[in-house]
Structure 1
Amino acid sequence: MRLRLLLLLALCWAGPSAAARTLSLRGRWRIRSGNGSLELPGDVPGCVHSALFQRRLIQDPYYRFNDLDYRWISLDNWTYSKEFRIPFDISKWQKVNLIFEGVDTVTKVLLNNVTIGKTDNMFRRYSFDVTGLVGDVNSIELHFQSPVLYAAQRSKAHTCYQVPPSCPPLVQKGECHVNFIRKEQCSFSWDWGPSFPTQGIWKDVRIEAYNICHLNYFTFSPIYDNRAQEWNLEIESSFDVVSSKPVYGQVIVALPKLQTQQTHSIDLQPGERIVELFVKINKNIAVETWWPHGHGNQTGYNMTILFKLDGGLSIEKSAKVYFRTVELIEEPIKGSPGLSFYFKINGFPIFLKGSNWIPADSFQDRVTSDLLRLLLQSAVDANMNTLRVWGGGIYERDEFYELCDELGIMVWQDFMFACALYPADQGFVDSVRAEVAYQVRRLKSHPSIIIWSGNNENEAALMMNWYGIHFSDLHTYINDYVTLYVKNIREVVLAGDKTRPFVTSSPTNGAESVAEGWVSHNPYDKHFGDIHFYDYVSDCWNWKIFPKARFASEYGYQSWPSFSTLEKVSSEEDWSYESKFSLHRQHHAHGNDEMLLQAGLHFKLPQSTDPLRSFKDTIYLTQVVQAQCVKTETEFYRRSRSEIVTGEGHTMGALYWQLNDIWQAPSWASLEYGGKWKMLHYFARHFFAPLLPVGFENQDVFFIYGVSDLHSDCKVTLTVRVHAWSSLEPLCSRDTKHLVMKVGEAVLLYREPVPKLLERCGRCTRQSCVVSFHLSAAGRLLSPTNYHFLSSLKEAVGLQKANITAVVSPHGGTFVFDLETSAVAPFVWLDVGSIPGRFSDNGFLMTEKTRAVVFHPWKPTSKRELEQSLQVTSLTDIY
């Protein structure tokens, strides 16, 4: 029998002596509409939308305008029901519980026509005592209430004052009052996602029967004792003792590879009991710590815990234990007002490189293990070490965090509150306290999670007055904010987990916000904490528009997903940039216009008279612009890590918005719905490289900084080349003397006035030339080849239409694409349509005549399929 608990591996009951039986109620249930006119089978875990789709009663909810056409599903009150038999003699068990790991969201639960409880929080685990009520043959029903109607009712019942915002912007085509229901906030819509307020049993459900004593949960935290310089384990176990007498026994904890085994006596009195153990790890054995990706190994140790109790009861658990420390450093910086804001892992300062994670689908039953691994592996493959699990989605499933542990992805974990003010009445607060306690207990054993954050943007929403609150009412809303996030969420987090930091919001000024009474008058202060930054009007090639902040936890630009992704959910009449579909799919006000505005600053817009060709070219151009904008901004943050300029800098994190898509639509994502890499994701693989040269201009001088995330100094040679757009041969090339890249620093490697550079290279003007540069040692390339445009590409002189051919050949499990070009080609894009996989590089500047690129397929494919699907585009092809 298996239980999914908070541990990093599945935890199992040991042998026939365990006094417990479990019956899973996963599988086929019946689903009935509110008036009974529609009844159908549905799977658990699952939701109503998925059941209707699987029975072909509706189309794919993502197809065309179905998010509007299927609003009726969310507005109805559905019932889930199931009849089941108990395959063992239920009368022989002292206690029987019905357990729901996740219900979405508002229900009344009946067993054998008796109401046994209610649910109103998607993020909680519910356990109902059904002892004496359950029989050999049983019926169970969950009467769901429409989450949309429930949220409206709760808002209306909150009569003392409004809690804004009431509704999302009209462009999002969403539902109202989502801040009054403890449910995935973006399910009511967001500026990158649809409105699908689901109903269903979205996680496991089971019957548990036991005698004498039952282990409810088991969690642990590795603790490092700085004074003694040794590791310890704090272990917490929760028991339900149903025996009328105390239960005695022993607990044996063993970590074989660390030569650690300890035995403790326990005394369990009747009732709910917590057992806390403190285990000292053998000091004579060196403990290998867990490191983020790019900084070391993700070493873990197998641990077993055996509870040997009265009555022959034996319970054994196993888990993977990872040892690591995390510190959030907020301290004065020489030459700057304010405080630092950066993380040390195992005592080493680490620049956080990555993105923001949103739910991978509106319907969680469609998120497979393969998809999770694909998306997270893609983050690692792009040299990321961090993902922020954003506060408007869900606390991800155990498997997500297990994969992050395995892959070395640090997780900034928001609690699920976003872009809204929230009520602070007792019922709401009590539900939140139970939610937070459960989630902290479930997740705290994961080394990947390095920080808890109370919410997304709610401090900023409050103090920057996003919702037009009258000044005389501000005190009321500040009190509610402090009540919810400080007096409750923070209190519960600190009681349950002392091993990682907590901040009340993102963005926040951290310690400064605390000093100002938990809300800062300017949550975007660049001298403290983290910032979010978006600017779609200013020129993104101008690095001076970006804030030189301590930590950038959100920033980004939109693009459209590839045509092969859109094609699956659209029809021919939708395939233009101005179509009704294109406007409908854009949930960010003026987003389509902003993309063209940004594109027009440096590129010629597509000029084809063929509507489909123009649409495909525009999609391509939006991806070019997004990639180039985020590249410029991220490189600015990375080169700002070691310097203070007019009191600003010491930037130690860059998490762009956003990693993944929830559906097929324009968004800020670098991975399309399903996982296909956009051009931005290929660029991220370069701009997050551990060793990187970064070029920029200031007052007509060209600078190159070297950025290192390595743990040791590195001797390098910098090569700077200048190419004319009209020639595949470089006009000039210069190698520097040996330079030393210091551990974890960004240092100036090169500077030259642009006029001098152009004069040195001969036949060169800003409009006719481009600069490329890379780091090497002993002839071996150590960094990506980076580049700097000396002018807008719409002003480029000598840029010719490139004829690029490709020869495809299989190589092991991959395919090599040997490219040959007739001219210098900017933003070369290889697209194989819907064939799943990724290239070793894409969207690149091709300055050499030939180049080999490797395609890594995610599913079996053939040379012929790739050749038939391949389309090669470079910038001049769209003119």
Structure 2
Amino acid sequence: MTSGPVKPTHSTTLANWSYRKAGTEKWTASKHGRPATQIHVDLLDNGEIPDPFLDENEKLVQWVADEEWEYQAEFTVSSEQLESGKKTDFVYEGLDTVATVYLNDKQILHSENMFHIGRVDITKDVKVGTNNVRIFFANALIRSRQLEKIHGKMRLFNGETSRVQLRKSQYHYGWDWGPLLMTSGPYRPVKIETYNYLVSDVFVNAKVSDDLKEVTVSIEGEIEGSKGEPGYLPLQFKVDIKSPSGEQVVNKTFDISVDKDGVSKNSLKIENPQLWYPANYGEQHLYHITVDVVSGSETIQSIEKDVGFRKVELIQRPLVDQEGTTFFFQVNNIPIYCAGGCWIPAHSFTTCLTNDDYKKWIKLMIDGHQNMVRIWGGGIYEEDIFYQECDRLGIMVWQDFMFACGQYPGYPEFLESVSKEAVDQLKRLRNYCSIVLYAGNNEDYQVAEAYPEIEYDPNDTTSDYLKTNFPARHIYEKMFPELVADYSPAVPYHPGSPWGGKTSSDPTIGDIHQWNVWHGNQEKYQDWYKLGGRFVSEFGMEALPDRKTVDQFVTKEHEKYPQSRTMDLHNKSDGFERRLALYVMENIKVEGMDIDNWIYATQLMQSECLAYAYRCWRRQWKGPGREYCAGALVWQVNDCWPVTSWAIVDFYYRPKLSYYAVKRESSPVWIGMYRNVNYLSEEDKKAAEEVPTFDYFKREHFEDIWGVNNTIHEKKVVLHVEVYEIESGKLVETLPPKPVTLKANQTTEIIQNLPVESKTHHVVYCRLVDADSNKVIARGGDWPQPLKYLSFPDRQVKVKVEDGQVRLSTNKPVKGVEITVKNKDLFLEDNGIDLFPGDDQTVIIRGLLSTDEVTIRHY
């Protein structure tokens, strides 16, 4: 490097891309002018393809993936930038996927991993004036099939078998909720950087003391231009740290001394730190950290980060009264019950998403009382804004590595590529305090268990897995844990999801994916309590999206019925017709098979199903030593296109009724209820299990009622219980108000074995009233099952529309009241609610006017 003065760095982000089909002459400009783009987006913007999300257009755009594409952009360099001693790099944050990069027609890079981040020295190839970058994107499908011919066909779930050979987002090959759209392009920014010295990465490596009274911070800067030159540089770090309230807590200057890897490390301590907590457990304190790189009196570079300090642990220890071990997250010494969901990419073409889109999604999660999101391993390592918002709002992130539902290879070039991928992404993500777990893969161990020819023995922990036909086990159990320990030491690692115990479905150890509702045995959802585990990281139920969404993607009126070809194309789950019909017909009385009635029936069924799951499993958070279930993450939060799926919010941000059911059941303080069936003799019970169709055996029904308090303080409440006869609306029993102290951060059993007469269809209605404010803080009804047998004659639900809210009242118990605002997309604070006489409810609707047209429907 130069011995002269160190000059400021200069960075240019390439934008205004043009594209062409490889082998043709004409270049077409990208219309949007964004620094990141994908070929389908550009073709759509320029009217060269129809919108693949509408009607059956997905079929009409498959030719795009059959072609090879090129992108080009120009940049200008001044003579000052290229003066002697300066270095110029081509910097890429993500190329999708089989990419060869040319600078002024000279090849400078070939990459076959869309998750790589890197820089290439182009100092000798760049010129003063205008320079041209051209990127050739080869056919990814052909390339993955070539690799498959070389390395052999692998087993998997979803997509085609060749997908596991190429480090590309696996959902691009099609999934059971997503279309087959093989993208290509510079999907993340490309930059040209000129510098003497450049800090390419700053890691705020923080360790919180066990007593939480001190945080040791190591400011670790990776210096480009210094590798191989350990020792002092003509540079300094000026570190300024401001507290969450804006007060300066650190202002220090360090001489930069680098090790053999070009990394400078400087330590400091912060006493009595303000820590970051998950939502509802404390504040989301973030320190603002500025690192100025200075040479003499000149600042050559400035890096700013908002960083939270927290201590996170994954606790797996023996339980009281049950076999196995716990699986819960502890943040700043507080055990956390995790209620949340699994996240897939929110678009098939992720370059279409803006920061505001991400903010809207994360806000929907936090408004839905979700405190954890699991980023699924078949998509992408998400955009920075995703993690920034999770930091800001207090949502914990479970981050899968990008491996999903497959038997992945382990040849040397693949391992080398995956290792770089992991290092690149760990370095990018390690400053986000919301990340509380890295998991090696999604369901790859289940694939190994599903196919007997795959050599997998979970008890074998010492063999060389690369010599087996399950070589990826080396990645998950040796490579990844070592890299996480090296690059993100404050975050726990878990080999896979699900993983633990004798098999991946062992409910007593590790996490499980519970798919015996919908998939598998297709169990009744009222029996979720039998299907729990220490941590349920996947489970779900399908439902159609909102009617407004259907109207957006089905443009032909004659196709707007549940069994149309278009509706079928927009449901990718195998056997969905039978499974969806099974769960609806078993549980819900369907008023008609038109699209509106079918949407309501599927959404009500989904909401009931998911409510049972959250309710049953959350009950098992019983306090220290009895953390029998520590989390439930629904599959899935979102969609990547308009579709019928397991999502609780559809592609256009419209919550399904299940979103509100999950929100209620995940409230910090809530009421739980479950109706038990007791047969009068063991003989009757056994006979009923053997011949359930002719269940005439005598039985009694008893209600269990418990309170949930996932705050760190005890809560004094009063429980009110009423029992109604459903058809007549008659109040048949009122229990005396019961004062209760809800224990902090656990469930509290309140009433067990309350007799309920089911034959006359009684519903139990409970309210929790805050003992201090006398306000209702939780309410819910437990109805006889299945709901399809219930009748609701002569109900009168009254609706009053006011600015910002809707008031509801009823003369009889009513189930599943759905509110719809015509011609407007407004967020409702609640929906799909149960109403009871004498307990009027007000639903807040942001932006609602008293003149808006509001309709309701109910069960």
**TM-score for both structures, normalised by structure 1:** 0.87
Q: Give the whole-Å Cα distance in 2 for the aligned partners of 1:477 and 1:616.
A: 53
State whether residues 546 and 633 of structure 1, in contact with CA within 8 Å, keep that contact through their aligned partners in structure 2: no
State whether residues 635 and 687 of structure 1, in contact with CA within 8 Å, keep that contact through their aligned partners in structure 2: yes
Q: Which residue identity lines up with residue 733 of structure 1 in the other structure?
A: T
Q: Which residue identity lines up with residue 745 of structure 2 in the other structure?
A: G
State whether residues 770 and 788 of structure 1, in contact with CA within 8 Å, keep that contact through their aligned partners in structure 2: yes
Q: Which residue identity lines up with residue 73 of structure 1 in the other structure?
A: V
Alignment of 1:539-618 (within 5 A): 540-543=524-527, 546-570=530-554, 571-607=556-592, 614-618=594-598
Q: Give the whole-Å Cα distance in 2 for the aligned partners of 1:739 and 1:132.
A: 76
Match of 1:41 in 2: 29
Alignment of 1:504-543 (within 5 A): 504-509=495-500, 521-534=502-515, 535-536=517-518, 538=522, 540-543=524-527
Alignment of 1:848-863 (within 5 A): 848=837, 851-857=840-846, 863=850
Q: 1:116 aligns with which of 108, 113, 118?
A: 108
Alignment of 1:293-442 (within 5 A): 293-309=279-295, 312=298, 314-442=300-428
Q: 1:829 aligns with which of 818, 822, 835?
A: 818
Q: Give the whole-Å Cα distance in 1 for the aligned partners of 2:802 and 2:456.
A: 68
1:119-156 Cα shifts (integer Å, max 9, x gaps): 21111113121112111121221010111111111111
Q: Which residue identity lines up with residue 119 of structure 1 in the other structure?
A: S
Change (3 A) 1:649 1:290: closer
Change (3 A) 1:235 1:664: same
Q: Which residue identity lines up with residue 775 of structure 1 in the other structure?
A: L
- Structure 2 SS opposite 1:487: helix
Give the deviation of 1:248 after TM superposition: 3.3
**CA RMSD after TM alignment:** 2.7
Q: Which residue identity lines up with residue 673 of structure 2 in the other structure?
A: G
Match of 1:775 in 2: 768
Paired residues, what number? Answer: 810
Change (3 A) 1:217 1:843: same
Match of 1:260 in 2: 250
Stretch deviating more after TM superposition (537-546 or 595-604): 537-546
Change (3 A) 1:133 1:242: farther
State whether residues 47 and 363 of structure 1, in contact with CA within 8 Å, keep that contact through their aligned partners in structure 2: yes
Alignment of 1:760-839 (within 5 A): 765-778=758-771, 780-781=774-775, 783-797=777-791, 799-800=792-793, 802-810=795-803, 815-821=804-810, 823-832=812-821, 835-839=824-828
Match of 1:20 in 2: 9
The answer to whether 1:638 aligns with 2:622 is no
Change (3 A) 1:805 1:38: farther
Give the deviation of 1:618 after TM superposition: 0.7
Give the deviation of 1:782 after TM superposition: 5.1
State whether residues 806 and 842 of structure 2, in contact with CA within 8 Å, keep that contact through their aligned partners in structure 1: yes
The answer to whether 1:178 aligns with 2:154 is no
Change (3 A) 1:361 1:658: same
Change (3 A) 1:234 1:872: same
Q: Which residue identity lines up with residue 326 of structure 2 in the other structure?
A: S
1:603-652 Cα shifts (integer Å, max 9, x gaps): 223336xxxxx1210111000011001110111110012289xx997111
Q: Give the whole-Å Cα distance in 1 for the aligned partners of 2:812 and 2:657.
A: 21
State whether residues 106 and 119 of structure 1, in contact with CA within 8 Å, keep that contact through their aligned partners in structure 2: yes
- Structure 2 SS opposite 1:706: strand
Alignment of 1:136-155 (within 5 A): 136-155=129-148
Alignment of 1:460-479 (within 5 A): 460-462=446-448, 464-466=449-451, 469=454, 476-477=467-468
Mind listing any 5+ residue stretches in structure 1 that lack a counterpart?
1-15, 513-520, 609-613, 759-764
- Structure 1 SS opposite 2:322: coil
Q: 1:683 aligns with which of 651, 658, 661?
A: 661
Q: Give the whole-Å Cα distance in 1 for the aligned partners of 2:466 and 2:220.
A: 40
Change (3 A) 1:54 1:525: same
Match of 1:659 in 2: 637
Match of 1:92 in 2: 83
Mind listing any 5+ residue stretches in structure 2 that lack a counterpart?
458-463, 679-700
Give the deviation of 1:556 after TM superposition: 0.8
Give the deviation of 1:820 after TM superposition: 4.6
Q: Give the whole-Å Cα distance in 2 for the aligned partners of 1:450 and 1:825.
A: 41
- Structure 1 SS opposite 2:11: strand
State whether residues 248 and 267 of structure 1, in contact with CA within 8 Å, keep that contact through their aligned partners in structure 2: no
Q: Which residue identity lines up with residue 193 of structure 1 in the other structure?
A: G
State whether residues 394 and 416 of structure 1, in contact with CA within 8 Å, keep that contact through their aligned partners in structure 2: yes
Stretch deviating more after TM superposition (500-509 or 64-73): 64-73
Give the deviation of 1:503 after TM superposition: 0.6
State whether residues 802 and 874 of structure 1, in contact with CA within 8 Å, keep that contact through their aligned partners in structure 2: no
State whether residues 805 and 848 of structure 2, in contact with CA within 8 Å, keep that contact through their aligned partners in structure 1: no
State whether residues 659 and 671 of structure 1, in contact with CA within 8 Å, keep that contact through their aligned partners in structure 2: yes
Give the deviation of 1:399 after TM superposition: 0.6
Q: Give the whole-Å Cα distance in 2 for the aligned partners of 1:308 and 1:45.
A: 31
Change (3 A) 1:348 1:817: same
Give the deviation of 1:317 after TM superposition: 2.5
Change (3 A) 1:703 1:29: same
Change (3 A) 1:363 1:833: farther
- Structure 2 SS opposite 1:523: coil
Match of 1:10 in 2: none
State whether residues 178 and 641 of structure 2, in contact with CA within 8 Å, keep that contact through their aligned partners in structure 1: yes
Q: Give the whole-Å Cα distance in 1 for the aligned partners of 2:565 and 2:820.
A: 26
Q: Which residue identity lines up with residue 655 of structure 1 in the other structure?
A: L
Alignment of 1:649-728 (within 5 A): 650-698=628-676, 699=678, 700-727=701-728
Stretch deviating more after TM superposition (187-196 or 723-732): 723-732
- Structure 1 SS opposite 2:182: coil
Q: 1:236 aligns with which of 215, 220, 227?
A: 220
Q: Give the whole-Å Cα distance in 2 for the aligned partners of 1:741 and 1:333.
A: 22
Change (3 A) 1:804 1:738: closer
Match of 2:856 in 1: 872
Match of 1:732 in 2: 733
Stretch deviating more after TM superposition (539-548 or 657-666): 539-548
1:828-856 Cα shifts (integer Å, max 9, x gaps): 11122562222121101122378454453
Stretch deviating more after TM superposition (840-849 or 244-253): 244-253
Give the deviation of 1:68 after TM superposition: 1.8
Give the deviation of 1:717 after TM superposition: 1.4
Give the deviation of 1:56 after TM superposition: 1.3
Q: Which residue identity lines up with residue 429 of structure 2 in the other structure?
A: L
Q: Give the whole-Å Cα distance in 1 for the aligned partners of 2:280 and 2:232.
A: 51
Give the deviation of 1:176 after TM superposition: 4.7
Give the deviation of 1:103 after TM superposition: 1.0
Change (3 A) 1:820 1:745: closer
Q: Give the whole-Å Cα distance in 1 for the aligned partners of 2:737 and 2:218.
A: 53
State whether residues 691 and 782 of structure 1, in contact with CA within 8 Å, keep that contact through their aligned partners in structure 2: no
State whether residues 329 and 335 of structure 2, in contact with CA within 8 Å, keep that contact through their aligned partners in structure 1: yes
Q: Give the whole-Å Cα distance in 1 for the aligned partners of 2:451 and 2:735.
A: 52
State whether residues 109 and 120 of structure 2, in contact with CA within 8 Å, keep that contact through their aligned partners in structure 1: yes
Give the deviation of 1:577 after TM superposition: 1.5
